[in-house]
Amino acid sequence: MELVSRLAQLIPSIGHNTKSISLEVGIGDDAAVLRLSPGSEWVTSCDFSLEGTHFRPEYPPESIGYKALARATSDLVAMGAKPRYFLLALALPAGKTGKWLRRFASGMSRAAREFDMPLIGGDTSRSDTVTICVTVLGQIPSGLSVLRSGASPGDHIYVTGTLGVAQLGLEIARRGLSRQRSLARYLHAHLYPQIPVSLGQALAGHHIPSAMMDISDGLSTDLARLCTASHIGAQIYAGQLPAPKIPSTLLSRGIDPLALALHGGEDYGLLFTVPPHAVPRLSRIARHTKITRIGEITRHRDIILIHPDGRSSPLPAKGWNPFS
């Protein structure tokens, strides 16, 4: 059987004979056909997941599949959109088209079910290393998308979840400690990032954030992007950052929780700004999610870190950079 047809059997998908609310033609024809619905907008993005760059070849294939879809979908969540469909372009070595592919597809299926997001098309090819490109499509009521560019001086800055846990998991994998059971939950955060799908939609739906993005490359790098897009600066309180608690077995290994929280990538939580008048509404909407206020937007363009002793220093962007 052709690889695309096998993927369509292994991953929740919509075939070309099945119609859904906004899909005229699904996987199996030359292209998918989407129906435009009045009053709503499509939001779309694509993301690479490359062996050696984004994951190590020895990682569980389930994690590679899960994370490839989670990473891409995180960008829809960051706009406030509801995930709807995805397309998968996958190139593999011939030796990975059997068991490896089934395990990869089972991880990707888990993410597709969690995000309620069927596969509607894609392409497969042969390559010496695993090369994945996921294209995601989301929907949002017209005009509700939350951009990076809307923050104003005086807005409060929030993040979801704990910052730097996924990076801590990566450090654990790098140090060859993956088999230690007490460290499993950190490794899990690196392999299977949990993205706040419904919170993104709820925030946008209630017009709460003035600007929003996902934290993919680390707070320091992503906050700088938001500040550049909004033409403003920020001050961040080091003592308020939701940093991970470093397990005692790692304390002697030079892992700094503040550095993890500031620069650690791949948590895929949300970074968003809220005007003071919308803060009471935020507390009602985000009751069931961990959110933390970490600072304020400022008029001058620098990004400043305020230490617990009152000292302040510029915060350089030292998150993940694929070219460094």
Q: Which residues bind Mg ion (CB under 5 A)?
A: 75, 214, 216
Comparing CB distances to Mg ion, the nearer of 84 and 96 is 84
* Distance in angstroms (rounded) separating the CA atoms of residues 220 and 305: 10
Q: What tokens does 263 get?
A: 């620069």
- In Å, what is the CA distance from 322 to each residue of 105, 123, 192, 275? 26, 25, 20, 33
- As measured in angstroms, the least distance from the Cβ of 75 to Mg ion is 4
- Choose between 229 and 306: whose C-beta lies nearer to Mg ion: 229
Sign of torsion, CA 284 285 289 295?
negative
The rounded distance, in Å, linking the Cα atoms of 232 and 230 is: 6
Residue 321: CB minimum distance to Mg ion, A: 14
- Residue 75 or 171: which CB sits closer to Mg ion? 75
How far apart are CB 45 and Mg ion at their closest, in Å?
8
- Number of separate helices (H) and strands (E) present in the chain: 9, 13
236, two tokens: 């961040």
> How far is 270 from 78, CA to CA, in rounded Å?
6
Instruction: Kindly tell me which of 61 and 80 has the beta carbon lying closer to Mg ion.
Output: 80
Between helix 184-191 and helix 165-174 the angle, nearest 10°, is: 110
131-141 and 82-92 beta bridge pairing:
antiparallel
Q: How far apart are CA 87 and CA 64, in angstroms?
A: 16
User: In whole angstroms, how close is the CB of 216 to Mg ion at the nearest point?
Assistant: 5
Nearer to Mg ion, 51 or 214 (CB): 214
Q: Could you tell me the smallest distance in angstroms from the CB atom of residue 215 to Mg ion?
A: 8
Contact 276/208 with Cβ under 8 angstroms? no
Least Å from the CB of residue 134 to Mg ion: 13
Q: CB of 177: closest distance to Mg ion in angstroms?
A: 29
Using the minimum distance from each CB to Mg ion, give the nearer residue, 76 or 208.
Answer: 76
Long-range contacts of 306-312 (CB under 8 A, 24+ apart): 306/235, 306/236, 306/237, 306/238, 307/238, 307/239, 308/238, 308/239, 312/235
Q: Which of 214/266 has CB closer to Mg ion? A: 214
Minimum CB separation from Mg ion for residue 74, in Å? 6
Instruction: State the pairing for strand pair 156-160/270-274.
Output: antiparallel
- Which residue's CB is nearer to Mg ion, number 86 or number 104? 86
Cβ atoms within 10 Å, residue 68? 27
